[in-house]
Amino acid sequence: MSHSAPPKRVALVSGGIGGLGTEICRQLARAGRRVIALDLASREERVAAFHAETADFDDDIAFEPADVSDFDSCQQLIARIEQQHGNVDILVNAAGITRDASLRKMTPQQWHELMQVNLDGVFNMCRNAIEGMTERGFGRIVNISSVNGQTGQFGQTNYCAAKAGVHGFSMALARETARKGVTVNTVSPGYCDTPMVAAVSADIRAQIVAGIPVGRLGSPADIARAVVFLSADDAGYITGANLPVNGGYFMSF
C-alpha cells in the first residue's frame, strides 16, 4: 500500500515581496510550506525581482496582489486562496510602512496611512482568516511588530503606536483562540538590512548601529528564522508571546 505525503500547509505572508517578507517566504518554503506572498500589485518591478529571487522554490511560492489596508480586498483574497491553493494554516503579517516625522511635524495623513497598513492591515487579514483556522482546529499567526514598539523612537509616534498595538492585538487574539489550536505571536525585529532602514539618514543610522551590542544590522534571515520557529506544527504551546530579534539593542524580561 502506498502512502501519499500529507498536503503541505499553506502559509500566507503579507508584505511578502518586501525587505523581510521575501526571505520569510523563502524560509517557509524551505521548511515545507506552500507559500503565498501578498503585496501591492503596483509594485510591478519588485514582483519581477521577487520571482527571480524565489525561482528555486517556483512551485511552492506564488504571488497574489492585495491591499491589506482594504478589508473587502482581504476578504476576497482569502476566499480566492482557499479555492485555489487550500486552507490558510499559517498567516504572517509582515506588511508595514514608515511615515517618519516628529509629532510636531506629523500630518494626519502620515498618521492615518501608517495605521491603515500597519495596524488595520493586521485586523483585516486576521479577521478574514481566523474563522477557518478555528473551525479546522489549527492555525499559526505571526505578526511582525518592532523593537521600536517596545522602546519608542524619535520621529515614530505613529509607527511605535501601531507596532505596540500589534502586540496587544496578538495577546488578545491568542486568548480567544488558544483552545482551538491556533497560536498568535509577534516577532519584534530590531534594525535590519532592508530598504526601510536604509531610508533613515546615514548619521542617525550610524548612531543606531553603534548601540547594537551584536555590532551589526540584522539580516532578513535572522527574522525569518524566528517566524519559521513560531509557525512550526510543534510550536503549539507558545502563544501570546513576543520574540525579540534585535541583536541585543533592547533587552527586557
Interface ranges with ligand CAA (CB under 6 A) = 98, 100-102, 104-105, 146-148, 153-156, 159, 189, 191, 196-197, 200-201, 204
SS3 41: coil
Quote the least distance from Cβ 157 to ligand CAA, whole Å: 10
Q: Determine the distance from the C-alpha atom of residue 124 to the mean position of all C-alpha atoms in its chain, rounded to a whole number.
A: 13
Residue closer to ligand CAA by CB (options 16, 149) is 149
Q: Using the minimum distance from each CB to ligand CAA, give the nearer residue, 65 or 152.
A: 152
159 among known catalytic residues:
yes
Q: 146 vs 183, which CB is nearer to ligand CAA?
A: 146
Name the residue whose CB lies closest to ligand CAA: 155
Residues whose CB is less than 8 angstroms from the CB of residue 137 and which lie 6 or more positions away in sequence, other chains included: 180, 181
Count Cβ atoms below 10 Å from residue 105 Cβ, excluding itself.
9
Q: How far is the CB of 19 from ligand CAA (least distance, A)?
A: 9
CB of 159 to ligand CAA, least distance (A): 5
Angle formed by the axes of helices 157-177 and 108-118, nearest 10°: 30
- The catalytic residue among 159, 191, 237, 249 is 159
Which secondary-structure segment (H or E) carries 22?
Answer: helix 21-30
The SS3 of residue 126 is helix
User: At its nearest, how many Å lie between ligand CAA and the CB of residue 107?
Assistant: 13
What sections of 106-218 are H helices per DSSP? Answer: 108-118, 120-136, 147-151, 157-177, 195-198, 202-210
Q: What is the largest CA-CA distance in the chain?
A: 70
Q: How many angstroms separate the Cα of 115 from the Cα of each of 6, 19, 112, 195?
A: 39, 19, 5, 20
Catalytically active residues are 159
